[in-house]
Amino acid sequence: MSDKLTPTSKNNFDEVVEIIETAREKAFSAVNRELINMYWNIGEYVSRCVSESGWGKSVVKDFSSFIQDRYVGINGFSPSNIWRMKQFYETYDGKEKLATLLRELSWSHNLQIMSCKTDEEREFYLTISARNRYSFRELKRQMDSALYERTMMSELTNKLIIENSAGLSALRDSYVLEFLDLPEKHKEKDLRKAIVNNLKKFILEFGKDFAFVGEEYRIQVGNRDFFIDLLFSNRELHCLVAIELKIGEFEPEHLGKMQFYLEALDRDVKKESENPSVGLILCAKKDAAVVEYAMSRSLSSALIADYKLHLPDKRILENKLRELTEIAEVTYDKIEED
């Protein structure tokens, strides 16, 4: 037969590797779902016993010993973990959407996400972890970097300040790049090189739908050459994403330059099947009022964001998000009244 495997059919061997890897992934996912289901059911059982039969620490300790004596070598049934199963069940009981998402992640992921303060925050991390297949280490980093607060603040800011193309929904107005290990004083060239050298981590911070196209990407307009600091494509948005790096504060003229780049990309680089290009100006800092003035009459698909070289204070971001939410609520109420 023409599709028979032979020692020299490398492409067929690659296909078999893909078949094996897919099967292993499906098997792991199935085992993980059953494990999470088991923890859920045990959590429900313990919750009911605590409520109806007055179980306390001593009974749970006996329960733990019973399981470990009956199933020698089994892990995960210490008294503290059994209490976590109870908390796990009670946290998500009656919340079908979240209960479905949590079965896509490992127990370690779920324990980390369970520490969130609100269902909205839990749903955010459950969704983004499953979508991007975050490792536990990456999930913890994103939570430590207050990804939820930064994303919510970006969405609120975009609604309050600008109404741009839908493509900007994939971008935030603040990024944490502590993994670049750069000193506070650095050059734009240093920033660009550090990003390229840490591309995997940079894309994880931005989102896994981003794919790297080029560094100092050359575009030719007339008889002149121009260079975009970083160019990416985005599979979800199906468009090019240009990123300009600024180690100083955002200046209005930066936006004009980005608009020029986006026009050149759309005319000369993007494919007919792709959506219009999107731009991100990544600055060390920005003044909200200057950004608002610069963007108020702009129809460009560009966003101004800042970057930090250290993990932010999550409590400060939580307070800022609360303040921004209150401002947004007042603004929307006023719009409805008008």
Beta-carbon contacts of 228 under 8 Å, excluding residues fewer than 6 positions away, are: 216, 217, 219, 242, 243, 244, 261, 265
By C-alpha distance, which of 104, 101, 97, 94 is closest to 33? 104
User: How do residues 34-80 score in pLDDT, each as one tens digit?
Assistant: 999 999 999 999 999 999 988 999 999 999 999 988 888 778 899 99
The Cα–Cα gap between 7 and 331 comes to 68
Tokens standing for 316?
């400060």
* Domains contained in the chain, CATH given: 10-144 (no CATH), 147-334 (3.40.1350.10)
- Widest pairwise Cα distance in the chain: 83
Q: Assess whether pLDDT exceeds 90 at residue 125.
A: yes
* pTM metric for this prediction: 0.62
Tokens 């976590």, residue located? 84
By C-alpha distance, which of 158, 173, 169, 147 is closest to 283? 173
Residue 99 pLDDT level (bands cut at 50, 70, 90) = confident
Three-class DSSP labels, 287-302? CHHHHHHHHCCCCCCE
Side chain identity, residue 56: G
Beta-carbon contacts of 324 under 8 Å, excluding residues fewer than 6 positions away, are: 153, 156, 157, 160
By C-alpha distance, which of 101, 103, 126, 104 is closest to 113? 126
User: How do residues 166-198 score in pLDDT, each as one tens digit?
Assistant: 455 567 778 889 889 898 889 999 999 999 999
